[in-house]
Amino acid sequence: MSVEDQYLWLEDVTSDEALDWVRARNGETLAELTAGARFAAIRDEIREVLDADDRIPYIRRRGAHFYNFWQDAAHPRGLWRRTTLDEYRRGEPDWEILLDVDALAEAEGENWVWQGAVVLRPDYRLGLVELSRGGADATVVREFDLDARAFVENGFTVAEAKTRIGWIDEDRVYLGTDFGPDSLTTSGYPRLAKEWRRGTPLEEAETVFEGKPDDVSVSAYHDPTPGYERDFVYRSLDFYRSERHLRTPGGLVKVDVPDDARTSVHREWMLVQPRSAWTVGDQEYPAGSLLAIGFDEFMAGGRAFTVLFRPDPHTSLDYWAWTRHHLLLAVLKDVRTELRTLTPGDGAWAEEPLAGAPDLGTAEIIDTEPDLNDEYLLDSSGYTQPSTLSYGQVGGEVEVLRRAPERFDATGMTVAQHFATSLDGTRIPYFVVRPSGAEDGPALLTGYGGFEVSLTPGYSGVIGRGWLARGGTYVVANIRGGGEYGPDWHTSAIKAERHRVYEDFAAVAADLAGRGITTPERLGIQGGSNGGLLMGVMLTRYPELFGAIVSQVPLLDMRRYHRLLAGASWMAEYGDPDDPAEWEFIGKYSPYQNIHSGRTYPPSLFVTSTRDDRVHPGHARKMVARMREQGHDVRYHENIEGGHGAAADNEQLAFKWALVLEFLWERLGG
């Protein structure tokens, strides 16, 4: 820690002094940005999109029912509900309301935010509902009876913590939570995995596995698939490396795959996707490939893998999903989705295309039910193409269940993909969405560049209403650090090579100007979390390329990020600031250490949340305080609720986006 950090007091999240500072900054920003008619119009239009009754109610099958969580103006905290497929096909289904979160919050005097539920297979009668206060990652867990539509009296209950919980059977769960001293890792996640039996005190839960303090987390999982019941223990060594163990009556048996590989086990099959090249015997399997083998065969020492997918310079595997008899692959080819079906057979896997992916768009398999059948739910959209939800059975017809209406007039808008050349010669793809007549209008560029997260084309009523429909150009950069071209696209830009992320983004900004799409004075940028760090680096390293910058829930003080909340879990991405050799490259881009009084920076807005227990709000607070001290053009807003999303409901989300977009329109001209 630097002894010169006079703003360390702003890391005390809820101290009176820090919150007084927050209120003062919020007041200044709101007075500047919310008084005009345009702010109110943008806010109301976005709220209309978020609360619209004709949105697609996305569903997930769990047994005989399809489940949905729904928020609107009348139910800002939301309804957990279910229906049947036949009812859903009617257009106006008869929903069975399981839990009204608004009513619960009012009755209990709590600011509950829904965080999901884990439901016991195969009858789906009992659930473990997770609720957070104000949208934080930490949750309270309470057992819920779906048939009775009520919480179970004296059922499984866990106090507020960053809990990992899952069913073993009706009377047992696997649990990782805050059990007291030495039960959490330095990242704040569970270090112990325990088996907890119904009706027994939490203190008597049996320890299944204990990780080390510097691990990221530990968890356990039960697979109840009939005939393939198995129990696994996972030890996350860092953000990308994990050990996997099969729990047997004789103890834990390691699943001997590379620590950085992704693995999944479905019935008799195990799939392995190595994140770095893996040599097995005389075979080398490239990073990003997908391999299949019988799980029992592998555990017995067999290594005769079948290669199901092999990447190339333009193509990567995005994800996979099982149905009862088939494996569905989503492939990115220059960031455009292709879908494939693989079917295991006698000594070989048959491959066929799966329809549904739009040109210059994304098709996402949002649900399958591998215990029951070969159905799948597919959501497809593009930057100007609203979502379509389809239902299909592998090998059968595809049925359109819902089409979302247009939220903005896309007439005359164009979508194009371009490639910029980064400093080291790498071609960086980016998408440009441009309204007719936008040649003289501002442009908004966004990116992420971390944790192997891919930014694929998709429809946004918020961006459509608040930016595109008002004449702004929208740009999405697929920079390194993401997963658009597989694991190598990510690992080539971590730790000491992190500078490539920022060089890529700067190259896209320069390319936009070079093509005449915009000018630096009219180019705004926006990003959140790791993307908020990206914005901070652009501010301090490349200020001449931009006219306005928005940084949301950001990391900014990279000298201390690993000491704040979940920061220690990200050292595999950024490095260890306490290691002098690694601080040497981190310190060169850390925004908080690289803001200087003698430079001119574009106007900036920092947005965060008091209740964010993932990325500490102190990052944004301290950055703004230092910038204000140095006399820079900066403003700040901190939502008291909202967690890492900086908004706990649609009203807050609409307000946050209106604040961001009003700032950009005001600074870039409209």
Q: Who contacts 488 (Cβ-Cβ below 8 Å, separation ≥6)?
A: 287, 288
**CA 181 distance to own-chain centroid:** 30
CA triplet 561, 565, 571: central angle to 5 degrees? 45
Residues 42 and 29: their CA atoms lie apart, in Å, by 17
Render 103-117 in DSSP notation, one character per residue: HHHHHHT--EEEEEE
Q: Is position 490 annotated as part of the catalytic site? A: no
Q: Who contacts 112 (Cβ-Cβ below 8 Å, separation ≥6)?
A: 77, 101, 104, 105, 131, 132, 133
Residues 136 and 643: their CA atoms lie apart, in Å, by 4
Cα radius of gyration (the chain)? 25
Q: Say if CB 648 and CB 642 are below 8 A apart.
A: yes
Question: Considering 529, 569, 604, 609, which one is annotated as catalytic?
Answer: 529
| CA-based max dimension of the chain | 71
C-alpha to C-alpha distances, 153 to 112, 150, 260, 327, 653, nearest whole angstrom: 19, 9, 42, 41, 35
In this structure, what token pair is assigned to residue 480? Answer: 């390194």
What is the side-by-side order of every strand in the sheet holding 336-344? 315-322, 327-333, 336-344, 349-353
Work out whether strand 443-446 and strand 242-248 pair parallel, antiparallel, or are unpaired: unpaired
Question: Considering 245, 562, 616, 644, which one is annotated as catalytic?
Answer: 644
Q: Is position 460 annotated as part of the catalytic site? A: no
Q: Who contacts 552 (Cβ-Cβ below 8 Å, separation ≥6)?
A: 526, 527, 528, 529, 531, 532, 535, 606, 607, 608, 646, 660
Using a 10 angstrom Cβ sphere, with 0-12 exposed, 13-18 middle and 19 or more buried, the burial of residue 204 is exposed
Using a 10 angstrom Cβ sphere, with 0-12 exposed, 13-18 middle and 19 or more buried, the burial of residue 31 is exposed
The CB density around residue 542, as the number of other CB atoms within 10 Å, is 18
Residue with tokens 């999240």: 13
* φ, ψ (nearest 5 deg) of residue 171: -115, 5
In this structure, what token pair is assigned to residue 123? Answer: 């009858």
Q: How far apart are the first and last CA of the chain?
A: 43
Can you list the positions of beta strands (E) in 204-322? Answer: 206-210, 217-223, 230-236, 242-248, 251-254, 262-266, 269-273, 278-280, 283-285, 290-294, 306-309, 315-322
486-509: string of b/e by CB count within 10 Å (b at 16+)?
Answer: bbbbbbebbeeebbbbbbbbbbbb
In this structure, what token pair is assigned to residue 525? Answer: 């940028």
- DSSP assigned state of 205: P
Catalytic positions: 529, 644
